[in-house]
Amino acid sequence: MGHWSSSIVAILAISGTGTCNVAASYKGPSTKGCASACTDLSKSLPGKVTTVANAAAFQQIQSGYYSTFNSDLAPACFVLPTTAQDVAAVVKAAKKAQCPFAVKGGGHTFFAGANSIQDGISIDLQQLNQVTVNKDGSASIGPGNRWGRVYETLDPLGLTVMGGRVSTVGVGGLLVSGGLSFLHPSQGLGVDNIRSYQLVNAEGKVLEVNQKNNPDLFWALRGGGNNFGIVTRFDVNTVKHQNFWGGGINYNISELEPLMKAYNRLAQPETQDPKATTWFAPVYFPKTGLWIINTEPVYAEPVSTTPEIFKPFMESPNQLSNSIRITNMSSLAQDTPPSGGNTVAEWDITMKMNTEVVHYMHQRIRDGAMNHPALDQVAFPVQILGKTTLSHTKNRGGNALGLSESDGPLLIVQLGLSWPAGTSAADDEAIYALGDALMRDVKQWSVKKGLEHRYIYMNYAGRSQNVFEGYGAKNHARLRQVAKKYDPEGVFQKLVPGGKKVF
């Protein structure tokens, strides 16, 4: 997406190490049994356990996180399993020692402890990276992949999957939480395109989970996060696809009003096109006072002329950059380049489709709602959850999100903040407080306007946001029942402090 895209990647999670005193402030279960557990695992899984004694290897693994909130945490050991049986061995060892553990796929979830842990066991799934196409047309994908590698494998076969839109985002976190993609208007969310899971449960057993085997667990895994075990393989739908029309376009903020009108058309039944999708992200750089608008229009056909729905985006003046072209999925996913070394915080809410919220947030930030000298970037992307996207849930076995076609069209409203590593804990908390306050105000604005919706998209949710309440009381209760059935001792509630919990 060009120069501006590299500037906003730290906060566009639609997507080094620092020192922000996270380790000192991080609180979790007792880790007194973890050193012995790591020693035992070093013997049973030779070559797959790394401790700080191997400083170079330890630091290399530790640096592989999106936000310094997690790269600053130092576990007692990292374990890099290569099979589901290895994962099972780690779960058994952690449970025996009552040692808390974390699970990392791509490491993109930002808040402290989400996918790393201080003094516990960190299971890094990067070696579980298979990408194979099955005879039934599905693809088996390991949770340690990042989406760029998945697309690079499938593109030459003329296939693609409903996965992340940024190459460096991990497979596992996206597919257990929601799964917006470049194809979600026509194919549904990522969770609705999963046929089967291989899962290591709280007893360290390897289960096959689908609509026939453990169907209640299958439903819960479609949006239930890390509450039920560790997924070691996803079997997902593929679609035949070669090339797309698409790319990134950045604009001067002066184009806000006409572009918002154009964006609104993507959600309206009389003008929407299920082959078209884009996010819409105003971005503010506080240290320079600069504002831009970032978009990534994608059309799911290699058309030779601009699709009607995107003509206002292409014809809009004051473009700062434009990389629209005919290209494949792996190239599109590389438009937002890798980031690292920053501290990141995010939040989101959902409301009935109404683009006035963008003007409200723009004005609030212009009035000083995000004033803090450490802040580098402030972005508030909005993304459409249309009726066509939500219609696929019912037809593909259902999911735990609590959404149906009648809910749409909805608008996911995200806030993303980025600031340099090395800020004080006090500054970190001050910035968090600003973000919390603004999103509370946005929520209240939606209530007053009659636009409120309970749903919170897990992949962007803030550290204190209660995602599962947003799924609705019935689904939340059902998720708790499934957790109690498959994990009666609460291993994934008590020993895995990271992630969003159903209890």
pLDDT tens-digit series, residues 69-79: 888 999 999 99
**Is residue 10 in a domain?**
yes
* The last residue of a domain, from among 124, 141, 156: 124
pLDDT at 28: 65
Domain containing 269: what range?
244-465
Q: What is the tens place of the pLDDT at every residue in 359-387?
A: 999 999 999 999 999 999 999 999 999 99
- 338 band by pLDDT with thresholds 50, 70 and 90: low
Higher pLDDT, 7 or 193: 193
State the Cα–Cα distance between residues 326 and 308, nearest whole angstrom. Answer: 16
Percent of the chain with pLDDT over 70: 94
Tell me, what CATH number does 275's domain have?
A: 3.40.462.20
C-alpha torsion sign, points 322, 327, 331, 332: positive
- β-bridge partners, 198: 208, 233
Q: Where are the beta strands (DSSP E) in 254-338?
A: 276-277, 280-285, 290-295, 298-299, 319-322, 325-327
Higher pLDDT, 15 or 248: 248
**Is residue 503 in a domain?**
no
**Is residue 501 in a domain?**
no
In total, the chain counts a number of residues equal to 503
Rounded to 10 deg, the angle between the 356-366 and 256-265 helix axes is 150
Burial class (CB in 10 A: 0-12, 13-18, 19+), 371: exposed
- 112 band by pLDDT with thresholds 50, 70 and 90: confident
- Alpha-helical (H) ranges within 19-169 are 22-25, 34-44, 55-62, 68-71, 84-97, 147-154
pLDDT at 339: 62
State the Cα–Cα distance between residues 8 and 376, nearest whole angstrom. Answer: 10
pLDDT at 94: 98
In terms of domains, do 374 and 281 share one? yes
Other C-beta atoms closer than 10 Å to the C-beta of 147 total 25
In terms of domains, do 371 and 265 share one? yes
**Mean pLDDT value of segment 5-24:** 41
Query: Could you tell me the two tokens for 411?
Result: 């608008």
State the Cα–Cα distance between residues 351 and 412, nearest whole angstrom. Answer: 7
In terms of domains, do 196 and 233 share one? yes
- 288 band by pLDDT with thresholds 50, 70 and 90: very high
Q: Terminus-to-terminus CA distance in the chain, angstroms?
A: 40
Higher pLDDT, 364 or 342: 364
- 144 band by pLDDT with thresholds 50, 70 and 90: very high
Q: What is the tens place of the pLDDT at every residue in 207-250?
A: 999 999 999 999 999 999 999 999 999 999 999 998 999 999 99
Identify which of 209, 208, 202 has the alpha carbon closest to the alpha carbon of residue 226. 202
**Mean pLDDT value of segment 297-301:** 98
**Is residue 471 in a domain?**
no
In terms of domains, do 197 and 287 share one? no
pLDDT at 69: 87
Q: Whole-model pTM? A: 0.93
Rounded to 10 deg, the angle between the 34-44 and 84-97 helix axes is 150
State the Cα–Cα distance between residues 25 and 31, nearest whole angstrom. Answer: 15
Residue 13 pLDDT > 50, yes or no?
no
Contacts of 377 (CB under 8 A, 6+ apart): 7, 8, 10, 11, 283, 284, 285, 286, 416, 417, 418
In terms of domains, do 161 and 212 share one? yes
**Is residue 434 in a domain?**
yes
**Is residue 100 in a domain?**
yes
pLDDT at 113: 84
* The last residue of a domain, from among 101, 124, 147: 124
Domains contained in the chain, number: 3
* The last residue of a domain, from among 124, 156, 187: 124
In terms of domains, do 188 and 333 share one? no
In terms of domains, do 199 and 257 share one? no
In terms of domains, do 44 and 147 share one? no
Residue 4 pLDDT > 50, yes or no?
no
Contacts of 126 (CB under 8 A, 6+ apart): 64, 80, 104, 144
Q: What is the tens place of the pLDDT at every residue in 80-103?
A: 999 999 999 999 999 999 999 999
In terms of domains, do 422 and 351 share one? yes
**Mean pLDDT value of segment 449-454:** 99
**Is residue 236 in a domain?**
yes
In terms of domains, do 144 and 112 share one? no
pLDDT at 29: 77
In terms of domains, do 11 and 107 share one? yes
Percent of the chain with pLDDT over 90: 87
In terms of domains, do 49 and 119 share one? yes
DSSP 170: B
**Is residue 499 in a domain?**
no
Tell me, what CATH number does 116's domain have?
A: 3.30.43.10
Residue 166 pLDDT > 90, yes or no?
yes
Average pLDDT, rounded, for the chain: 93
Q: What is the tens place of the pLDDT at every residue in 398-450?
A: 999 999 999 999 999 999 999 999 899 999 999 999 999 999 999 999 999 99
